[in-house]
Chain A
């Protein structure tokens, strides 16, 4: 059974700081890994999608890496801004066993960027 863990559970940083969010997963048989953000009372917004054959993806100030063999991904946010405050979720799509195609989420990292 795939399990996804995110560290830290919460993070508070001053504006302008670079930061790293971590995600680990137990089963390396995945199709892809996706990072989302969720604002309070809202749905999820897709940030980055990394296919299992890729090592990283970049979008603006965001960079996500994937090391499938070790079951790890990181989301790097450069020059953080108060508008980045949200819950960040990573999710992996399983490629093996009876869970193929299923997306499993971590519990999220609550990020607060203060001015």
Chain B
């Protein structure tokens, strides 16, 4: 596609349920990033991929969070046993080159945990 695509755009779930958020990067982009943005706050780094390997997982908040990427394509962020503090917008970005490339962001997935 022309841009980074994220789905779902909105997700409301009950505390304790698992959720999956999907990111389709721009075709051919080798690097893919996940960020979290809580209401009124800045961007919090979660994880990034070079190809399908993740050199830096340091931002994942807890072991309830995991992410995977298939080749240099789609990535899935999974949150298990969701908590109310997981409510946020989850933003995905991709770039052609992992080091010098320009990042392009999707519109985000808004997660609300009741």
A36 to B42, CA, bound (A): 13
A46 to B104, CA, bound (A): 7
Contacts of B31 in A (CB 8 A): 101
Contacts of B91 in A (CB 8 A): 43-44
Selected from B42, B98, B100, the residue in CB contact (under 8 A) with A105 is B42
Contacts of B1 in A (CB 8 A): none
Find the A residue at minimum CB distance from B42. A107
Find the B residue at minimum CB distance from A101. B98
Interface size range of chain A in the complex = 20 to 34
Interface size range of chain B in the complex = 20 to 34
B50 near A101: Cβ-Cβ < 8 Å: yes
| A103 in contact with B103 given A43-B91, A43-B108, A44-B91 (CB within 8 Å) | yes
Shortest beta-carbon distance from B86 to chain A in Å: 19
Find the B residue at minimum CB distance from A53. B100
Contacts of B102 in A (CB 8 A): 34, 46, 49
A95 to B102, CA, bound (A): 15
A43 to B6, CA, bound (A): 11
Contacts of A89 in B (CB 8 A): 42-43
A108 near B42: Cβ-Cβ < 8 Å: yes
Main secondary structure of the interface of A (DSSP, over half): strand
A71-92 CB mask vs B (1 if < 8 Å, else 0) is 0000000000000000001010
| A98 in contact with B56 given A44-B105, A103-B33, A104-B45 (CB within 8 Å) | yes
CB of B62 closer than 8 Å to a CB of A? no
Shortest beta-carbon distance from A19 to chain B in Å: 21
| A102 in contact with B48 given A32-B100, A34-B102, A46-B104 (CB within 8 Å) | yes
Supply 14 A–B pairs (Cβ within 8 Å), ascending by A.
A43-B106, A51-B100, A89-B42, A89-B43, A93-B99, A98-B58, A99-B56, A100-B55, A100-B99, A101-B55, A101-B56, A102-B45, A103-B48, A108-B42
Identify the A interface with B (CB < 8 A). Answer: 31-32, 34, 36, 42-46, 49, 51, 89, 91, 93, 95, 98-108
- 20 A-B pairs besides A43-B108, A102-B48, A103-B93 with CB distance below 8 A are A32-B100, A34-B103, A42-B108, A43-B91, A43-B105, A44-B93, A44-B105, A45-B105, A46-B104, A46-B105, A49-B102, A89-B43, A100-B55, A101-B98, A103-B33, A103-B48, A103-B103, A104-B45, A105-B45, A106-B42
